[in-house]
Amino acid sequence: MQLRARQFTVIDAEPPPPGLLGRHAQSRGYLLYSARYANIYTVRHLLQLVREAFGAPPKANPVWRRGAAFFDAFRPSVEPEGLRSVDEVIAHRVKHLAAVKAVVETLDVLVFTFGLTEAWIETASGTVFPVAPGVLAGAFDQDVYNFKNFTHAEILADFCALRDEIRAVNPRARFILTVSPVPLAATASGQHVLSATTYSKAILRAVAGELETTFEDVDYFPSYELIASPLARAAYYDESLRNVTPEGVAVAMRAFFDCHDPSGSAREAQDESIEAQEALAECDDEVVCEDAILDAFAPR
Amino acid sequence: MHYCVIGNSHVAALKLGWDRVSAEYPNVRITFFAAPATEMESLEVCGTTLKPGTPSLERYLVLSGKAGQIDTESYDGIALHGMGFSNRFTRSIYNRYRLLEHVPRRNGFLISRDGFSEALHGLLISSMGWRVAEKVREALGRPPIMLCQPHPGQRIVETDKRWEIHPEDRESLADLFLQTIEGIRTRGTPVLTQPPETVFGHIFTKTKYVGSPGAFSTAFGRVSGETDAPGTAAVETTHMNAEFGAAFIRQFLGQAQALVSA
């Protein structure tokens, strides 16, 4: 949203229909991403999506149920009440994958935030899901699904494969990586959530750093450090100590625009009122996050 | 019972219709306040009164309703008509988005029924009619009755390519419109759609109910200095006639008391 406000060209291959505005659009996965793939927390999920968009069929059933409604298992949040049939989910997914393909083929820069190392996978196929089956839809079966905590080596390899596959169809593609400063709300690793958070962030940050030093077309933007560093004294987290405040978002974005300013307008933009930036950040703050849903409905 | 109908040029058909059927309702009075296009948008809320925000609107209020302002407490019920609260929004979404059940097109996005309806709701509450309704709600303390703008005349498909909607998709679009209207009713605003006998092909109005240019001045006269707009469309598809107005007024009066007390 802030990128668009600064006249950056942000690809939107699945724009909302007229009348679907603001949080109503965002709650359906519009206006938040370059296509309606919803939050992608792991590199494996992104790799899987790009491969599927370029023709690799999904190895797991992509349709989950909740009551009489049907959901896309790889983005169950984009239709909050679900769709009416398996056929409808598949038809929407085919269109969505075409949009993702168009995004990959036309992008100049892919901005991706490393969100999590932890994920839920279908054991037999290794297919990764953005949320555990049974949370938003579907049903958890321990014989079918399994917890996976991706390692440094796995994430590094996944990103290298992703980079290769994207550059094979779009040689001009470059990458900006960030690491989410939001700590885990819960972990399935068996570790204390503080330890699990540190472990996860350390791996993600290390992978990002290694990729940045290895590839000229990969850059790392330190929004994680701006928000989570002791220098910030936790001032950019709200009272939950998890959610980033509008001020924090504004600080990170100001630093981003200082570094990345294709139009040369960063200085003028910097003079904008803090209120305006906070207003934008407030909107960004409404980003739908399954992590927050998990937190809200987690057993106490 | 004394009702008030506020709206734009579409109110002319209701006024002409009321002139035809008023003898059937000896205990009912209807005061019409009409002003063309977006004039009514400048209404201002002053307590329980709606005052014109422009001299032009004041002239139209006097012309149509014989009063320079609208005292909302003077009526047993207030209804709004026209002002873009219509199924044209259904068409504007359909032009780029389709449901899976719709006939496939080369271009366009798939959308869920819920997503379509939510977008349509967003457009309806962004219409001028809804904005004026908010002012009436503020002055009156309760929502007015929304009388939907008529569907376009069936011949609009000859003059406006945007209305080239596949015949197999029309019933579905009508259902989406009615589903969305039902949602608005559920949230507390009474809404009446046009009488079923006036509808053609689910989303159009039968030609026999379509009016002719100049209905506004026929219904209300002219404000000083006003002339007919030049270049009037050869085929009128937007405004309806007295027969339509009579049917809509009958339907309205058949339900008005229940809607007002709901």
Half-sphere exposure at residue B158, Cβ-oriented, CA atoms within 13 angstroms: 9
The Cβ of residue A97 has, within 10 Å, a number of other Cβ atoms equal to: 19
Q: Residue A95 and residue B118: Cβ atoms within 8 Å?
A: no
Task: Output the pLDDT for position B208.
Answer: 96
| β-bridge partners, A66 | A69
Q: What is the largest CA-CA distance in chain A?
A: 57
How many angstroms separate the CA atoms of B42 and B50, rounded?
10
Task: Output the pLDDT for position B230.
Answer: 52
pLDDT for residue A271 is more than 60: no
How many angstroms separate the CA atoms of A95 and A76, rounded?
16
Token pair for residue A257?
A: 């625009």
Q: What DSSP element (H or E) covers A93? A: helix A86-106
pTM, entire model: 0.89
Q: Which residues of A touch B121 (CB under 8 A)?
A: 19
Task: Output the pLDDT for position B105.
Answer: 87
Which one-letter DSSP state was computed for residue B201? T
Span A13-22, pLDDT tens digits: 999 999 999 9
A 36-95 residues with CB below 8 A of B? 79-81, 83-84, 87-88, 91-92, 95
Task: Output the pLDDT for position B221.
Answer: 86
Task: Output the pLDDT for position A290.
Answer: 53
pLDDT for residue B88 is more than 60: yes
Alpha helix (H) residue ranges in A19-174: 22-26, 43-53, 86-106, 152-169
Task: Output the pLDDT for position A279.
Answer: 46
Q: Specify the residue for token string 């075409």.
A: A98
Q: Which residues of B touch A66 (CB under 8 A)?
A: none
State the sign of the Cα–Cα–Cα–Cα dihedral B72, B74, B77, B79: negative
High-pLDDT (> 70) share of chain A, %: 87
Q: Residue B116 and residue A17: Cβ atoms within 8 Å?
A: yes
If you average pLDDT over every residue of chain A, what do you get?
A: 89
Distance from CA of B102 to the nearest CA of A (A): 12
Q: What DSSP element (H or E) covers A110? A: strand A109-114
Task: Output the pLDDT for position B261.
Answer: 77
For residue B112, the chain A residue with the least C-alpha distance is: A83
Span B24-80, pLDDT tens digits: 999 999 999 999 999 999 999 999 999 999 999 999 999 999 999 999 999 999 999
- Calculate the alpha carbon distances from A220 to A124, A159, A249, B254 in Å: 34, 14, 17, 68
A 222-251 residues with CB below 8 A of B? none
CA-nearest of A256, A237, A257 to A246 is A237
Are A8 and A256 in contact by the 8 Å Cβ rule? The answer is no
Instruction: Give me Rg for the CA atoms of chain B.
Output: 18
For residue B102, the chain A residue with the least C-alpha distance is: A88
Span B175-198, pLDDT tens digits: 999 999 999 999 999 999 999 999
How many angstroms separate the CA atoms of B35 and B33, rounded?
7
The Cβ of residue A43 has, within 10 Å, a number of other Cβ atoms equal to: 28
Q: Which residues of B touch A14 (CB under 8 A)?
A: 109
CA-nearest of A276, A295, A294 to A2 is A276
Q: What is the ipTM of this complex?
A: 0.88
How many angstroms separate the CA atoms of A242 and A234, rounded?
10
pLDDT for residue A95 is more than 60: yes
How many angstroms separate the CA atoms of B248 and B244, rounded?
6
pLDDT for residue A294 is more than 50: no
pLDDT for residue B227 is more than 80: no
